[in-house]
Amino acid sequence: ERALQLDYKEFHFHGTNQTHTSKKQGHRLGRHKKKFGISSILVPGLDFMTRERFYSSTLAFMESRQISLLGIMFAFYDGQGTLRRQLAFVSIERTVSLHELMCSFLKSPAYKSVDLQLEKIQLPEGLGAGDIFSSKGAFWRKNVILFDQNNLSPSRKQIGPMLEDYFA
């Protein structure tokens, strides 16, 4: 959970009235005002996501921020010294399939305006989807998708507003 907090920003949207706010300002997730978060972490996605407490700590972090969608941007150097980026999405939304949401997002004009050149990474069995329980006993369905981001140029400054446009 601590790694998710170190470099975290929240993004809000409300119809066509989109605003970016700091993590200290916030709105309750509700019918009219929505928010999602993006954390940046400097390790490969699978290294982070296969840690023992990945789900429980990520869920606790998302609950504390009152978000149902979290983007995690990974940046790291591979064995050849080449910068690589990956982008993961974690959802605890009960009614929305993350897979369907991402398929729609990848076809959207908002995505095409930035074109991250995302390629889905096959996750180890049991990591991508299933049922879990929150720390407060509520039932959630876990959904995780991880992509290689082949266009290295876009940062959170472009990706956050792009997602705001898509969700508006």
How does pLDDT run across 48-100, given as a tens digit for each residue? 998 888 888 888 899 899 888 899 999 999 999 999 999 999 987 766 678 88
Of the chain, the end-to-end C-alpha distance in Å amounts to: 28
Write down the pLDDT at residue 20. 37
Task: State the Cα–Cα distance between residues 29 and 93, nearest whole angstrom.
Answer: 12
Write down the pLDDT at residue 89. 93
Amino acid identity of residue 36, one-letter, is: F
How does pLDDT run across 98-155, given as a tens digit for each residue? 888 888 999 999 998 888 999 999 887 766 555 555 555 555 556 889 999 999 999 8
Tokens encoding 146: 């991880």
Task: State the Cα–Cα distance between residues 60 and 134, nearest whole angstrom.
Answer: 7
Write down the pLDDT at residue 32. 46
Task: State the Cα–Cα distance between residues 34 and 31, nearest whole angstrom.
Answer: 7
CA distances from 17 to 25, 38, 111, 167 (A): 16, 19, 19, 11
Q: What is the mean pLDDT of the chain?
A: 80
Write down the pLDDT at residue 74. 97
What's the CA dihedral at 106, 109, 114, 119 to 10 degrees? Answer: 10
Write down the pLDDT at residue 133. 53
Write down the pLDDT at residue 130. 57
3-state secondary structure (DSSP) of residue 131: strand
